[in-house]
Amino acid sequence: MKSVISSIKEKNNTGRTAILIPAYNEEKYIKRVIEGCFKYGIDIITVDDGSTDGTLKEIESIPSPENFSIINLKHELNKGKGKSLKTGFSYIIKNNYSGVITLDADGQHNTDEIKNFLRTIDEEKPDLIIGNRLGNAKNMPFIRLATNVITSWIISAIAGRKVRDVQSGFRYIRTEILKNINLETGNFETEPELIIKSSWAGYNIKNIPISTIYHKNFISHVNPVSDTIKFFKLVFNSMGWRRKLYRNKS
């Protein structure tokens, strides 16, 4: 029986699925993350979100592969993770990929687990896959665990379905979702917004387990004050989104 990786490599060069890595000041890990994705032989898209360190230099130092492409997109100024994702999503749509796997540039996601996403895509054909760290969260700092549990409960209630780790950036999104859903936020709240609107639209959402990785000197780009405010603004705005959805259906 052919492996998932072998099956993916046999597809055409554009690939049915691409990998998207948004990055901001991640010179320490970005090259290792990108090279960890090479084994899948599918296109890798990076979005440098106005980094002020050597992130872009590290990306550009990677030799061009023969059987797939590394596409480097760049924001001149830092715009936030959500806008970096949307820049990547626009590229995905314009270049006719069927879906995209997103992961963070800081080494918190195990690239060996991409094969589990590819297998699930191939076997179950979901529209959205969310990597779930909360099944094995012993390595997660307590404050992050508590925040993830609370926000996941709130977003699941709004979305009307159980999503175990709404803050996980390790996920798969079918391109149809990106074409049909209007994302209105621009930072870390974009990821839960995508879950909410995908659920309301009736898309098939699946949770799969992923590793919990926190490096010794991990530095979060999440601002505990401003991003908390943005999260509750998201909750408030979701009421307006729902009313608009119901009006469009009536």
9's CB contacts (< 8 A; 6+ apart) are 40, 41, 67
**Using CA atoms, how far apart are residues 230 and 216, in angstroms rounded to an integer?**
28
What is the phi/psi pair of residue 176, to 5°?
-55, -40
Q: How confident is the model at residue 1 (pLDDT cuts 50, 70, 90)?
A: very low
pLDDT at residue number 232: 85
CA 6/CA 10 separation, integer angstroms: 6
CA dist., res. 188 & res. 237, Å (int): 15
Quote the distance between the C-alpha of residue 228 and its chain's center. Answer: 20
| C-alpha to C-alpha distance for 208 and 204, rounded to whole angstroms | 13
The tokens for 68 are 């797939």
**Where do the DSSP E strands lie in 32-122?**
44-49, 70-75, 99-102
Is pLDDT above 50 for 12? no
Please check the confidence at residue 226 and state whether its pLDDT lies above 80: no
- Cα(80)–Cα(86) distance, integer angstroms: 10
**pLDDT tens profile 82-140:** 999 999 999 999 999 999 999 999 999 999 999 999 999 999 999 999 999 887 767 77
Higher pLDDT, 181 or 4: 181
Tokens 């980094």, residue located: 51
pLDDT at residue 52 above 80? yes
Instruction: Report d(CA 168, CA 133) in Å as an integer.
Output: 8
Instruction: Check whether 227 has a pLDDT greater than 80.
Output: no
Compute the 3-state secondary structure of the chain and give helix, strand, coil in percent, each to the nearest 5: 45, 15, 40
The rounded distance, in Å, linking the Cα atoms of 185 and 182 is 9
Q: Measured between alpha carbons, how far is 125 from 170 in angstroms, rounded to an integer?
A: 17
What are the C-alpha distances in Å from 149 to residues 57, 90, 155, 167?
37, 31, 10, 10
Report the candidate in 106, 105, 119 with the shortest Cα–Cα distance to residue 40: 119
Lowest-confidence region among 144-148, 175-179, 238-242: 144-148
How confident is the model over 76-80, as a mean pLDDT? 95
Asked if 125 and 165 count as a contact pair (C-beta separation under 8 A), the reply is: no
